A and B are shown apart, each in its own frame.
Chain A
Amino acid sequence: MTEAFFNEMYDRDGLRMPYQMLEGWYQNMPAEFRALKQAEAEGLFRRYGITFAVYGEGGDPDRLIPFDMFPRVFGANEWRRLERGIKQRARALNAFLSDVYDRGEIIRAGRIPADLVYQNEAYEIAVAGFRPPLGVFSHIVGIDLVRTGADQFYVLEDNCRTPSGVSYMLENREVMMRMFPHLFQENRVAPVDGYARLLKRTLASVAPAKCERDPCVVLLTPGHYNSAYYEHSFLADLMGIELVEGQDLFVEGDFCWMRTTEGPKKVDVIYRRIDDAYLDPLCFRPDSTLGVPGLMNVYRSGGVTICSAPGAGVADDKAIYTYVPEMIRFYLGEAPILENVPTWQCAKADDLKYVQEHLAELVVKEVHGSGGYGMLVGPKADKATIEAFAAKLAANPSNYIAQPTLALSTCPTFVEEGIAPRHVDLRPYCLVGRDVELVPGGLTRVALTDGSLVVNSSQGGGVKDTWVIAEE
């Protein structure tokens, strides 16, 4: 095993506590049994209908995302600190959003440049001056984390719009419990299946003041052509709410209504999985047929709540990311618990110069890119690739940011020869409504290719069940 990377199961002192019960499990597993289980897992995922798309990466919607049976485990103490850090960040991001759509104190205080916020594509003028119920803009905050040491975690990025992938967190657990029930008897694994109930409670807690009864919550999907449609229907089903498309809703008077067989029903909260631009053709893209005409008027006059709030994306922009620790200090008066990855803004001359001189050591990303595309992983790239990338960077520096290549932790993963360490990341899903809540777990993505640091499912990544266990 490579010394340079933190191995979450075996460190210098040997077997780490959270993984204690798993050593015997994998060592005593006959190869044929393993193959059988792997096939069984695949069968279960097919039956549940979980397929490829995650994080809006695109790709073949019918391909299964590879599932690795070796769990990724956190001890309760490790998790407590993570949990505090994640909730702190989710609170700060929401405080930032309610500030920049109001007086912009953080900008007046000179802590964040005005143009970075107000000229950001994701900043919606239509929402300025409007305060959503409880002042919450981002109700589901997905925070992408990597680990580089026993106590060292970094936030790679925040997702304040509509982070996807939580269905994997739930299904991975479901599959593991069906296949290895005894593992869950031997280990005190904290359950994650309360997520749907918490999500529904969160959504209901932000119903508009005009709602005077049990709120009607719906999930708005762009439809079954969308790569995350499975997740939309899965979550709607778990929460016991209607899964709707734009054409199922309409605006009349001060409210948004759902067509039902018993006539129109007033909708109070919309958990939307549609991008801002498509939400309302009368406010945003006029050619959108996915949204609900007039919805933004109803929203802004307090007739319906949209989760996440249109314009929430300004908080998770890669250029804004740099300032999140500043937000935590400014709004909460606390020291950030989770660290940001040091980031060079190529829009700044000094940063650009450094990046250009150190391309071979850095990861360079597009400011608005996602899915691991359009990026340069310096240490893995050959000379020609670096040179080609240098030209792109020089042509449009402000389109790029750079970060050091992080020594991502590894977790044992089943491979042909047995088990081997593979790099992992983590996306927990923090819920923000009347309370800030986090189920103990998240989605662990794993780079299945030996030595690869890219965990994206479109580029050879898989997923694992993520455990938080009570320690003795």
Chain B
Amino acid sequence: MILTVFHKTRYDFASPVGGILQSHRLTPAKCDGQKVIDWKVEVPGAVMGELFRDGAGDYIQTVSLRMPVTHIEVTVSGKVETTDTSGILRGHRERVAPRAYMRHTMRTEANRAIRDLVDDALRGKEDAPELDRAHLLAAAVAEALPYRPGATHAHTTAAEAMTEGAGVCQDHTQVLIACAHIANMPARYVSGYLNATDDGSPHEASHAWAEIFVAGLGWVGFDASNKCCPNEHYIRLGSGLDAEDAAPIRGLVLGGAEETLDVTVLIEAQQQ
């Protein structure tokens, strides 16, 4: 499948700010099931650093605007050829030891409710293969947190989302990471894009899901929000320990002012 991506992020500031520095994770890396045909990240007026690959295999780029500005606009456009790999990440060049993804952050720290969720989901399945256990956890998270936009916000932690009892893809992902850790499986947060189809299930074009390291298979993606593993409708941008660490755009505004954010994401399947 050929997916075309158009992703525009615009920040407007109430008064001019002294400058902006961003770290982008906006360029997909090559792996089985994902081949970039065409890709462009544009930020008018900005100085763009060299695109380099970090140890996790993600393309990273530094973007700076060192002058008073009232807005910044980041436009991503491209074309990626995808195939379904049943969620298994293969052919991805990375250097980080999977066990390093056993650590949690403030956002993926478990609480009692999450521990109970894992206990319930895996009861009687202690000897089940890891892959089955991972599926059970993803299903349990989907059930525990019905998709409800607006129930949580950008800084909501896994524990807070559990208390809320609802959430969006970010919450599903962070709770699933916490669950996997309890089950002694390395897990990480993946940012990317999703091609919305018309099957009636909830979607977010700018999307996130978890990868769980399954012995013998390697990293396997689990999208609890859509109760599936990533397939040819997904584009993987990069990973991290949580939503902040894996964010496609991490930025800092010098001499902050009130900002408004406008995001447009269009993902379409090109008919072949």
**A residues whose Cβ falls under 8 Å from a Cβ of B:** 101-102, 104, 107, 114-115, 118-119, 121, 123, 125-130, 250-254, 281-283, 286, 293-294, 297-298, 300-301
Contacts and interface: CB of A to CB of B under 8 A. Distances in A.
Contacts of A121: 103
A101 B95 CA distance: 8
Given A114-B99, A253-B48, A128 B244 contact: no
Contacts of A293: 21, 252
B102 A253 contact: no
Nearest to B51: A301
A252 B64 contact: yes
A301 B49 CA distance: 9
A298 B64 CA distance: 12
B47 A252 contact: yes
A300 B244 CA distance: 19
Given A130-B55, A297-B62, A300-B60, A254 B102 contact: no
Contacts of A294: 21, 23, 62, 64
- Ranked nearest first, the 4 interchain pairs of A and B with the lowest CB-CB distance are A129-B95, A129-B55, A128-B55, A301-B52
Given A282-B23, A293-B21, A298 B49 contact: yes
A101 to B, nearest CB: 8
Q: Which of A114, A118, A125 has its CB near the most chain B CB atoms (within 10 A)?
A: A125
Contact of B55 (A107, A125, A283): A125
A107, A130, A251 pick with most chain B CB within 10 angstroms: A251
B100 interface: yes
Contacts of B49: 251, 253-254, 297-298, 301
Contacts of B60: 297, 300-301
B250 interface: yes
22 contacts: A104-B97, A118-B99, A118-B100, A119-B100, A119-B102, A119-B103, A121-B103, A123-B100, A125-B101, A128-B56, A129-B54, A250-B64, A251-B49, A251-B62, A253-B48, A253-B62, A254-B50, A283-B23, A297-B52, A297-B62, A298-B62, A301-B60
Interface in B78-115: 94-97, 99-103
Contacts of A251: 21, 49, 62, 64
B54 A286 contact: no
A128 B52 contact: no
B97 A250 contact: no
B125 interface: no
Contacts of A118: 97, 99-100, 102
B66 interface: yes
Contacts of A254: 49-50, 62
Contact of B50 (A104, A129, A252, A301): A301
B187 interface: no
Interface of B: 21-23, 47-50, 52, 54-56, 60-62, 64, 66, 94-97, 99-103, 241, 244, 250-252
A236 to B, nearest CB: 26
Contacts of A101: 55
A125 B96 contact: yes
A41 B25 CA distance: 57
B58 to A, nearest CB: 11
A273 to B, nearest CB: 22
A123 B56 CA distance: 14
A250 B67 CA distance: 13
A125 B241 contact: yes
A281 B99 CA distance: 25
A104 B95 CA distance: 10
Given A118-B99, A128-B96, A293-B252, 13 more contacts: A104-B97, A107-B97, A115-B99, A126-B54, A129-B55, A250-B64, A250-B66, A251-B64, A252-B47, A254-B50, A300-B52, A300-B60, A301-B49
B97 A252 contact: no
B256 to A, nearest CB: 12
A102 B102 contact: no
Nearest to B63: A294
B243 to A, nearest CB: 12
Nearest to A100: B97
Nearest to B95: A129
A127 B54 CA distance: 8
Interface centre among B52, B56, B99, B100 (most CB of A within 10 A): B100
B64 A253 contact: yes
Contacts of B96: 125, 128-129
A252 B101 CA distance: 31
B181 to A, nearest CB: 10
A253 B47 contact: yes
B250 A282 contact: yes
Contacts of A126: 54-55
Contacts of B54: 126, 129-130, 300
A282 B95 contact: no
Nearest to B66: A252
Contacts of B48: 253
A252 B21 CA distance: 8
A36 B50 CA distance: 63
A104 B99 CA distance: 12
A115 B181 CA distance: 13
A302 to B, nearest CB: 8
A102 B22 CA distance: 27
Contacts of B23: 282-283, 294, 297
Contacts of B64: 250-253, 294
Contacts of A119: 99-100, 102-103
A30 B62 CA distance: 67
B218 to A, nearest CB: 16
Contacts of B241: 125
A129 B95 CA distance: 5
Nearest to B93: A129
Contact of A128 (B47, B95, B250, B252): B95
B55 A114 contact: no
